[in-house]
Structure 1
Amino acid sequence: MQSDFSQGKVWKNVINQAIPLMVAQLIQILYNVVDRIYIGHLPVIGSNALTGIGLVFPITTLVAAFTNLFSTGGVPLFSMARGAKEEKKAELILGQVVSLLFITSLALMALCYIFKRPVLFLFGASEETYVYADQYLKIYLLGTIFSVLSTGLNGFINAQGYPKKGMMTVMLGAIINLILDPVFIYGLHMGVYGAAIATVISQGVSFMWVLSFFMGKKTFYHIKEENLILKAGMVGKITSLGISGFVMQGTNCLVQVVCNKMLFMYGGDMYVGIMTVINSVREILSVPGSTLGSGAQPVLGYNYGAKQYERVRKAIRFTAAIGFLYMLIAWLSVIIFPKEILSVFTTDKAMIVLGEHALKLYFFGFFFMSFQFVGQSTFTALGCAKRAVFFSIFRKVIIVVPLTIILPMLGLGVEGVFIAEPVSNAIGGLASFTTMYFTLYKKLPE
């Protein structure tokens, strides 16, 4: 049942929307982070194995980008068809997305298998770390179909009003992965192979859960053979709506590749491994900030549509204030406890010593990211999605990537790679927030 966001306290509405999103995203992150933690603690090979897993990140990010392309493009069309009582059209959209996800997952799996060696070396692998990246990737790719279909179709479960069912898709996989990782990695002495096998099994279980939903009685919309045949017009509509999500995820892949390559050139395998840990920490710490912005979106959009402009302003102010406070606390935690954070992922003393300084540099001014989250969420909620995409590209492609390449060349070495992030956070975050403030917030009617 849709909530009336024009009633009640604005801050409660935002928090009530944000908390389920935060829980779901944190659980989702467990899929990959748990693998890294267990692998990083493997005796003797831990640091190289952790680096190898880090080299696979851009590939998993690219897979997620294509999943977003069809899922975030199809779900809104599906919801609109449901709202208009066009049941056949809704089932057609569902079928089209299933086919697109299936075909894309097969294509990505095949291409990654064929070109995995040159691609991994392009991403910054050495002969020592390629061994572990290859071990993980060739098993992980077997679960591409499971991963893409379970993640991509989960939005269609949520869109039918079954958020708990949707959350179970994520929880089942994460819990099974959490249980199987130590069994395969340590109990069966399978190391990196074991981590990949555990991940594929957990993805397979999530896929079976999603499939059982669409084959069951609770759904009004089933996957029918006649709807699986692709229709150019519908494919065009789906991809045009999903392109913004694809671009935003795809630029993450670009940043990861450039960072890994420059770190390998100027610092070697150790620093690529340190970046793997830093990315893991950033993923976890960013979730409350980003989901606060995402949780505010329906509240902002609803009140804007209801012409409750003061409630819109309150929601923006609350999200900005709490987001800034949280990110400030997160930043201080990293500055105060860098050694303890790194120790969660590795026992390698050299990696911990070098990583402490890198972690502090990378997260310096982390609180500026709160401005980016609020700005982009407000743009999206109030119908200015193109601006949200622009500022995402602006920060990552126009600022981070060039700085990551240029600063090391100016004599800063690996420090230049880590410095590029806080500089981009400050410039990108402030640019996004101030543009939102003067073009939207200040122009809201009284």
Structure 2
Amino acid sequence: MANISSDELGIQPIGKLLVKQSVPAAIGILVMSLNVLIDSVFVGKWIGSIAIAAISVVLPITFFIAALGMSIGVGGSSIISRALGAADREKALKTFGNQITLTFVMTISMVILGLIYVNDLIPIFGAKGSIFEPAKIYYIIILYGVPFLAYTMMGNNVMRAEGKPKFAMNAMIIPSVANLFMDYLLIYVFDMGMAGAAWATTTAYFMSFSYVLYFFLSKNSELKINWGHLGFNIPILKEIGSLGFVTLARQAVISFTYLLMNNILFNLGGEAMIAVYAIIGRILMFALFPVFGITQGFLPIAGFNYGAEKYDRVKETIYTAIKYASVLGSIVFLGLLIFPEALTSLFLSNRADLPAEDKLVNTFVLEHTPNAIRWVFAATPIIALQLIGAAYFQAIGKAIPALLLTLTRQGFFFIPLILILPNYFGELGIWLSFPIADVLATIVTGLYLRKEIKATLV
């Protein structure tokens, strides 16, 4: 788990290198996911099930703005990895400087727009009925912290491109621990309700940003930029944009999917059905952390070796990453297949003074969520191929296939399925859409990746 210099990405054995890069990434994702999971547990037990639904409605909007930082980070980091592999350090520095400036301009603009149109955005994403007011409270406060989250996500990807996965892990752990402490303080001790939950998260985002800033100003980072690097460079901006658009498009489709899901589910079962999906969303973020960790660890290794034209190492990286992630995905699947009831119960309050409306929601959620979990995660053992395949094209700078493969699962298959299947199968049609989309997307990605490997990695 030790940090390494960027040059070692092209030297060390692939299996060992993938573990070094992936374990810190997986731990960071785990801690961050646990934070979201436990945060939801605290909110559910100390505020109520409606509060979980309110947060679920807000997250796609705020995450999309934060995804601007992530997309700039992923797009720029692909350039940085390949530039370092090709010993072009000046291009790496210019790219990082442009990432900093672009993140500032984009996120601040989106936050301003988000605040202006608050009353229009929240209902579109499903904040109806009793969900609206708590969702609005949470949304406004969270927006203040989103630029800090965007910079954290951008910097996190650059850290990994430098071969510093341990620092990237710390950047994710710090806000997670801080958020849990602030949750206890603001929700439980000071009884601030939804506002307390929102300020806890916003404070955590700022602490994470502070750590990222410390890393790049310290001797730990190889990327020491000057004011000249901050000025926009059009060719670099175009490359960041084309590659980063893949990540942004994925998050946009995810946000649009939440919009559709929340509205479809509200029509099927009201606030209670949205609460079911909110719990499943938290488990999705948490349960797949080892697979996402492998994917994150894979990116800088593949990018560096592709830039250095070490194509045998690139192929070995692809196959090793798919193998490791598939094994971990299968273990996750078995756990969720066996313990869905126990996981669901974690989110539900058993307080005696719980309002009657929340008690009804809890009963509904406990009856409907376990079976939904089994269907949603049914294809987990095979999704590694889908994720690694799409990530490969982003790592090597091929934006169009990366974009198409990234959108395959959500855009080309999942959205049409959730619009069609509920008309025939009701609620079950929603949950069946998940594994069907995963299987179809994995087949398409596997065929395309195999073709690309034969054509270029020779």
Q: CA deviation at 1:185?
A: 0.9
Write the distance in 1 (CA, Å) between the matches of 2:236 and 2:165: 26
CA contact (8 A) 2:149 2:209 kept: yes
Q: Does 1:431 align with 2:444?
A: yes
Deviations 1:101-141 (A, max 9, x none): 22222222222222222211111121201122112111111
Q: 1:201 — aligned with what? A: 203
Q: CA deviation at 1:329?
A: 2.4
Write the distance in 2 (CA, Å) between the matches of 1:38 and 1:426: 35
Write the distance in 2 (CA, Å) between the matches of 1:50 and 1:166: 29
Write the distance in 2 (CA, Å) between the matches of 1:299 and 1:154: 15
Q: Does 1:20 align with 2:24?
A: yes
Letter of the aligned partner of 1:23 in structure 2?
Answer: I
Alignment of 1:39-438 (within 5 A): 39-42=43-46, 45-77=47-79, 83-86=87-90, 92-160=94-162, 162-216=164-218, 228=230, 230=232, 232=234, 234-298=236-300, 309=312, 315-347=317-349, 348-380=362-394, 384=398, 386-410=400-424, 412-438=425-451
CA contact (8 A) 2:262 2:274 kept: yes
CA contact (8 A) 1:289 1:323 kept: yes
Matched residue SS, 1:290: helix
Structure 1 stretch displaced more, 104-113 or 395-404: 104-113
Deviations 1:226-264 (A, max 9, x none): 655546555334323322222222222222222112111
Deviations 1:288-331 (A, max 9, x none): 1232244345555667766674x666554444344333222222
Letter of the aligned partner of 2:62 in structure 1?
Answer: T
Q: 2:8 — aligned with what? A: 3
Write the distance in 1 (CA, Å) between the matches of 2:311 and 2:433: 40
Structure 1 stretch displaced more, 97-106 or 170-179: 97-106
Aligned length: 438
Write the distance in 2 (CA, Å) between the matches of 1:379 and 1:224: 31
CA contact (8 A) 1:64 1:249 kept: no
Letter of the aligned partner of 2:370 in structure 1?
Answer: E
Write the distance in 1 (CA, Å) between the matches of 2:179 and 2:19: 29
Change (3 A) 1:226 1:376: closer
Letter of the aligned partner of 2:33 in structure 1?
Answer: I
Structure 1 stretch displaced more, 234-243 or 274-283: 234-243
Write the distance in 1 (CA, Å) between the matches of 2:292 and 2:219: 35
Letter of the aligned partner of 1:57 in structure 2?
Answer: L
Q: CA deviation at 1:423?
A: 0.7
CA contact (8 A) 1:266 1:408 kept: no
Write the distance in 2 (CA, Å) between the matches of 1:273 and 1:291: 27
Q: CA deviation at 1:85?
A: 4.5
Write the distance in 1 (CA, Å) between the matches of 2:299 and 2:140: 39
RMSD: 3.0
CA contact (8 A) 1:143 1:203 kept: yes
Q: Percent identity?
A: 26
Write the distance in 2 (CA, Å) between the matches of 1:238 and 1:49: 37
Matched residue SS, 1:323: helix
TM-score normalized by the length of structure 2: 0.85
Letter of the aligned partner of 2:438 in structure 1?
Answer: N
Matched residue SS, 2:421: helix
Matched residue SS, 1:189: coil
Write the distance in 2 (CA, Å) between the matches of 1:357 and 1:149: 38
Q: CA deviation at 1:23?
A: 1.3
Matched residue SS, 2:191: coil
Write the distance in 2 (CA, Å) between the matches of 1:444 and 1:392: 21
Listed as ranges, the gaps of 5+ residues in structure 2 are: 350-361
Change (3 A) 1:213 1:338: closer
Write the distance in 1 (CA, Å) between the matches of 2:110 and 2:27: 29
